[in-house]
Structure 1
């Protein structure tokens, strides 16, 4: 009996150890799952952005058999990813620095690397590319799927269906300069001024059409696109950049954008006035961003209606109005800058990923003086 009792006790002890081991294993699995959920919640936007850009980089490289696209979109995706990766790490008051880093890296690369053509020094030559709207139309009418056409297709036509107007908030070199100006708190929008950008979009398009079809500014023209698609190498490498017509289109166009943007900011006391009223690229982006998978959403259970998000929004969006209607922020004016997320005292605002379409624009208008 004694031996039998000892055996039963040993069995019970062994069973107890097994149960504890099982519980420990289950706890470890649950801890891992919990850690993964926390990581995913924190870096979901980063993973989303990297997946998009690396997929584009690899696909274009393999399909077009050009290593340039792997390098180009790899640089852009990694630079944007760095910004989104640092954003959760920085303290609330410093989060804007992450976006500034992305603006400087991507904007700088696209302005100097692509616009000035310096990225091609890897292959021993310089080839400027006009990354403005006119460059897109020139290449499109020339029947060339290159340079500005690829840039606009990915960043400003199809891209907005994936990440809205994130280009405007995280990568635009014009906005990167304008964001340094002192008028960060928007006084509200002027009601009818937003129509100006549609007028400029039409005028810019007509300019290219007239040059191509009336003045024969085509690929076969000795004074047209042929010259500004040329690449230069050899002893005149440094000076030849200024001989390429495409460079002048890009350079002068940007000087005009910067001058108008800064002037508007000073007059209207609004850093983003250029984006709201004048930028001719916005009409293209608004179409895709209407159906963007990536949009801001407010958790109404956490929200205390303090209005901090609306005060911080540089684009004058009435975020709380969307929340009251149980809707994500479907405004095509949202530039995904995430300033509203940064200032929310209850962490009630976040980026979300799903499909929906909204047609209402709830914007704060400037009071008549």
Structure 2
């Protein structure tokens, strides 16, 4: 077994540094030990997977990422979303961690719960660790990645990806309408379940977390996400179809990812143009084209899943840290059948990566 080099653990060190800083910063700023525990759990879970990645054999590496997905996604879904992390305080406090929950917090001028989550993971975070949230922590992707269509046929041509921005706008419009037209507020959906005489609060109390409006927002939103994600995966034979065409979070992620300090990049010139990096990319990025041009993968579609680094037989790819600006978005797009037939007729012995 080849011993991994220290440089292969730099993503782990980066995540540990970022989340340690965030944990201590929020703890001190709000004088709440909860934030220290919260971000320590998330940071350690992601760092564990990124630390295991270099240690595992090539064909087992994806399990390191899935471990982080399960740990972080499970904690965020059940611990924060369903409010079970607060059991030790004698209460259950559901939090709507979907995008609507973020907008409710923004319009209420409250910086907590979903607002903090989005700020750290999806607005500021990508500047440091790209769209690592999508690759290593998203609970929706954690489920969709278990489906059998791991090798995408390619990106659907046209403007299907614009549906994500429409979804983003609809979520914003829905919450804005409820708040400014119907007077719906954060207080309208918030509530807790007290099962011990642990605290005294004026917050509305319920006998079950499933009676709390915020819980319904969270559960219904997730059911729609999981349902549409599975349907799209089945129809398009692509596990990550939801991420490419429907997920609204890219409205936050892509602008920050365009200036990310962490990229996949070629580390040597041994590329044989085998196209494995491109064909295996779950987000349909034409990785080989970036390699051939001697550039980092500047696409804002990259979720830093590291798949391309593990399938490259010449170990050409690795991670690079430093300032960068996304100036190109090379994607592998599905060609219409007529064009494929014409190309094969003129070039019967060649294969072209789009």
**Is this a same-fold pair by TM over 0.5?**
yes
The answer as to whether partners of 1:227 and 1:244 remain within 8 angstroms in 2 is no
For residues 123 and 276 of structure 2, the distance between their equivalents in structure 1, rounded to whole angstroms, comes to 32
User: Which residue of the partner structure matches residue 130 of structure 2?
Assistant: 164
The answer as to whether partners of 2:259 and 2:323 remain within 8 angstroms in 1 is yes
User: Which residue of the partner structure matches residue 195 of structure 2?
Assistant: 234
What is the CA distance between 1:268 and its match in structure 2?
Answer: 0.5
What is the CA distance between 1:229 and its match in structure 2?
Answer: 2.3
User: Which residue of the partner structure matches residue 100 of structure 1?
Assistant: 66
Q: Which moved more, 1:62-71 or 1:302-311?
A: 302-311
Structure 1, residues 126-154: CA drift from partner, whole Å, max 9, x if none? 10001100000000100100001000000
User: Which residue of the partner structure matches residue 178 of structure 2?
Assistant: 211
Structure 1, residues 57-81: CA drift from partner, whole Å, max 9, x if none? 0111011100110000000000000
TM (norm. structure 1) is 0.86
Q: Pick from 250, 258, 261: which aligns with 1:282? A: 250
For residues 230 and 72 of structure 1, the distance between their equivalents in structure 2, rounded to whole angstroms, comes to 20
What is the CA distance between 1:323 and its match in structure 2?
Answer: 1.7
For residues 90 and 336 of structure 2, the distance between their equivalents in structure 1, rounded to whole angstroms, comes to 57
User: Which residue of the partner structure matches residue 260 of structure 2?
Assistant: 292
SS in 1 for 2:264: strand
Is the counterpart of residue 258 in structure 1 residue 245 in structure 2? no
User: Which residue of the partner structure matches residue 85 of structure 2?
Assistant: 119
Q: Pick from 133, 137, 140: which aligns with 1:174? A: 140
Q: Pick from 332, 339, 342: which aligns with 1:364? A: 332
User: Which residue of the partner structure matches residue 162 of structure 2?
Assistant: 195
For residues 302 and 51 of structure 1, the distance between their equivalents in structure 2, rounded to whole angstroms, comes to 32
Structure 1 segments of 4 or more deviating over 6 A?
A: 235-238
Q: Pick from 27, 47, 61: which aligns with 1:61? A: 27
Higher helix share: 1
For residues 209 and 117 of structure 1, the distance between their equivalents in structure 2, rounded to whole angstroms, comes to 25
Q: Pick from 2, 11, 14: which aligns with 1:45? A: 11
What is the CA distance between 1:282 and its match in structure 2?
Answer: 1.1
What is the CA distance between 1:159 and its match in structure 2?
Answer: 0.5
What is the CA distance between 1:231 and its match in structure 2?
Answer: 2.1
The answer as to whether partners of 2:91 and 2:196 remain within 8 angstroms in 1 is no
User: Which residue of the partner structure matches residue 350 of structure 2?
Assistant: none
**In angstroms, what is the RMSD of aligned CA positions?**
1.6
Q: Which runs of 5+ in 2 are unaligned?
A: 198-204, 338-354
Structure 1, residues 151-175: CA drift from partner, whole Å, max 9, x if none? 0000000101011110000010000
Aligned pairs, number: 327
For residues 210 and 161 of structure 1, the distance between their equivalents in structure 2, rounded to whole angstroms, comes to 31
User: Which residue of the partner structure matches residue 326 of structure 1?
Assistant: 294
The structure with the larger Rg is 1
The answer as to whether partners of 2:193 and 2:206 remain within 8 angstroms in 1 is no
Structure 1, residues 262-317: CA drift from partner, whole Å, max 9, x if none? 00000000000000000011121000000000100013412222111111100010
For residues 116 and 241 of structure 1, the distance between their equivalents in structure 2, rounded to whole angstroms, comes to 8
TM (norm. structure 2) is 0.90
The answer as to whether partners of 1:300 and 1:323 remain within 8 angstroms in 2 is no
SS in 2 for 1:88: helix
